């Protein structure tokens, strides 16, 4: 079995050399082919590449971007697998073997990635080294502790991405509309999952990543590129898929470890449920999602998904069936959330939990414009134009009737206002007291962005 390793270069030779050295040290070179795509370097990188005669080298006269360069490498790759690797990385012992082992652990696995010190999402892990001299020792220890372990995800980052060539032949390479880079890896992941393949993180493969070195070193505005390509991503798929494909770690953290049967209402693509399944081995997650496209993504890993409106759905589940029901950013979108909660409760076991998140309408984002006479609906956030109901820290408990639930215990996700706004809200609180209103918690409530609720269903009384 051969793996084609595709690396793009655009200046930054010092980093590229460290990457090459680590590959030569920790990779069986008889089992790989090295494909280097240079995107128009002017710092001597092209001359240095001639020192590696066994590498396939393509010299572009202009920068074709990450997607374009990677696709050039994919076209000439002859391996059974293709690995896209940033040149600002340093690989470690068993890095590739661990990923290949995971890639072929199941036929359904289509792409895998390693863990790293610098990467967004679930691949990022805590690390304790302070310079590159400590990478190997850290990686050896960490990977030994996690040998053979992996987790399934909806998103892998393209800094180090291994795929079966047969999968790429089916779903295609990177979409070149994303230019220099950003979101082309998200796009590929969506297409791969849509085709029915699994994405997995090899927890026993560590690759150090300097992070955005090419963008920074060549003075490419990463923030501008991110927002520009996010708009392209949204336009292509007709929706903001980032809203549906990211897990909610604050929700996962409060799901009981022994919860085995879970209903995820408004499940999106099932990212949160997937994280729960990674932790609660053997658990079954069911979903309800009104968006057909993302519901079909969730069907790849959930027990079943009902693609419909929870308000009109006659729930096809037995009574007292679920250990946990999730309602993450759902109830505020409903015409009658109180009735939906009662309906859901019939399918919840005694001592089971409803867990979810609800935005706070008294956060600064909403209350300050309202005090100034404005209530501007937007595409996302507290003033999302699709919100039909609004709740505060003082009223959110009304969603969960006391005759059904007990031990209501909300926690809060806070985004504090700036210092000037906070002074203003404190002054308003003091002024209100002169008119007989008690608003001692006004300033505090204005910093609460989301209310995380975990309510327990009452035991059946004998």
Residues 199 and 222 placed together within one structural domain of the fold: yes
Task: List the beta bridge partners of residue 448.
Answer: 414
Q: What pLDDT, on a 0 to 100 scale, did the predictor assign at position 429?
A: 76
Task: List the beta bridge partners of residue 271.
Answer: none
In-domain check, residue 244: no
In-domain check, residue 283: yes
462 residues of the chain, pLDDT tens digit each: 899 999 999 999 999 999 999 999 999 999 999 999 999 999 999 999 999 999 999 999 999 999 999 999 999 999 999 999 999 999 999 999 999 999 999 999 999 999 999 999 999 999 999 999 999 999 999 999 999 999 999 999 999 999 999 999 999 999 999 988 889 999 999 999 999 999 999 999 999 999 765 555 555 567 888 999 999 999 999 999 998 999 999 999 999 999 999 999 999 999 999 999 999 999 999 999 999 999 999 999 999 999 999 999 889 999 999 999 999 999 999 999 999 999 999 999 999 999 999 999 999 889 888 888 998 898 888 999 999 999 999 999 999 999 999 978 799 999 888 888 878 877 877 777 777 666 667 777 888 999 999 999 998 765
Please report, for the domain that includes residue 360, its CATH number.
3.40.50.150
Q: Where are the beta strands (DSSP E) in 311-415?
A: 322-328, 348-359, 405-406, 411-414
Residues 366 and 228 placed together within one structural domain of the fold: no
Residues 315 and 391 placed together within one structural domain of the fold: yes
Q: What pLDDT, on a 0 to 100 scale, did the predictor assign at position 461?
A: 64
Of 210, 238, 266, the last residue of a domain is 238
C-alpha span between 218 and 233 (Å, rounded): 24
Number of domains in the chain: 2
Angle at 251 between CA 316 and CA 223, to 5 degrees: 115
C-alpha span between 22 and 294 (Å, rounded): 39
Residues 234 and 316 placed together within one structural domain of the fold: no
Residues 150 and 283 placed together within one structural domain of the fold: no
C-alpha span between 462 and 460 (Å, rounded): 6
Q: What pLDDT, on a 0 to 100 scale, did the predictor assign at position 215?
A: 54
Smallest CA-to-CA distance from 453 within 385, 406, 403 is with 406
Please report, for the domain that includes residue 73, its CATH number.
3.90.550.10
Residues 216 and 268 placed together within one structural domain of the fold: no
Range of the domain at 202: 3-238
C-alpha span between 163 and 4 (Å, rounded): 10
Within 8 A by CB and 6+ apart from 106, the residues are: 198
Q: What pLDDT, on a 0 to 100 scale, did the predictor assign at position 427?
A: 80
Whole-number Cα distances in Å, 216 to 10, 92, 110, 220, 297? 11, 24, 31, 6, 35
């Amino acid at each position: 079995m051969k793996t084609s390793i595709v690396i793009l270069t655009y200046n930054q030779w010092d980093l590229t050399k460290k990457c090459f050295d680590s590959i030569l040290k920790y990779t069986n070179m008889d089992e790989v082919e090295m494909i280097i795509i240079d995107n128009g370097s002017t710092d001597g990188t092209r001359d240095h590449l001639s020192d590696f005669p066994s590498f396939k080298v393509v010299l572009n006269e202009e920068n074709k971007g990450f997607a374009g360069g990677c696709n050039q490498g994919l076209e000439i790759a002859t391996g059974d697998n293709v690995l896209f690797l940033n040149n600002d990385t340093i690989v470690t012992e068993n890095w590739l073997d661990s990923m290949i082992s995971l890639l072929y652990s199941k036929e359904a696995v289509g792409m895998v990635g390693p863990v790293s010190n610098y990467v967004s999402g679930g691949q990022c892990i805590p690390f304790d080294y302070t310079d590159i001299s400590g990478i190997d020792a850290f990686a050896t220890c960490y990977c030994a502790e996690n040998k053979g372990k992996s987790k399934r995800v909806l998103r892998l980052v393209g800094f180090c991405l291994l795929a079966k060539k047969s999968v790429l032949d089916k779903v295609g390479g990177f979409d070149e509309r994303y230019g220099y880079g950003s979101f082309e890896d998200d796009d590929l992941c969506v297409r791969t999952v849509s085709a029915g393949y699994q994405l997995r993180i090899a927890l026993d493969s560590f690759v150090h990543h300097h992070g955005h070195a090419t963008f920074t070193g060549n003075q490419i505005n990463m923030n501008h590129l991110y927002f520009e390509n996010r708009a392209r991503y949204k336009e292509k798929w007709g929706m903001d898929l980032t809203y549906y494909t990211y897990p909610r770690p604050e929700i996962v953290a409060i799901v009981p470890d022994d919860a085995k049967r879970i209903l995820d209402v408004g499940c999106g693509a099932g990212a949160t449920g997937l994280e729960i399944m990674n932790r609660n081995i053997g658990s079954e997650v069911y979903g309800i999602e009104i968006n057909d496209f993302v519901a079909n993504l969730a069907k790849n890993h959930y027990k079943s998904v009902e693609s419909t409106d929870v308000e009109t759905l006659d729930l096809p589940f037995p009574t007292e069936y679920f250990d946990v029901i999730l309602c993450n950013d759902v109830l505020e979108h409903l015409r009658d959330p109180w009735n939906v909660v009662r309906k859901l409760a019939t399918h919840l076991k005694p001592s089971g939990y409803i867990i979810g998140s609800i935005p706070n309408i008294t956060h600064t984002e909403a209350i300050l414009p309202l005090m100034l006479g404005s209530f501007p609906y937007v595409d996302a956030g507290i003033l999302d134009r699709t919100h039909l109901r609004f709740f505060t820290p003082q009223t959110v408990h009304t969603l969960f009737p006391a005759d059904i639930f007990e031990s209501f215990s909300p926690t809060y996700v806070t985004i504090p206002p700036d210092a000037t706004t906070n002074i203003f809200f404190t002054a308003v609180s003091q002024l209100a007291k002169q008119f007989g209103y008690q608003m001692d918690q006004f300033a505090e409530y204005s910093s609460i962005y989301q209310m995380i609720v975990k309510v327990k269903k009452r035991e059946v009384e004998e």
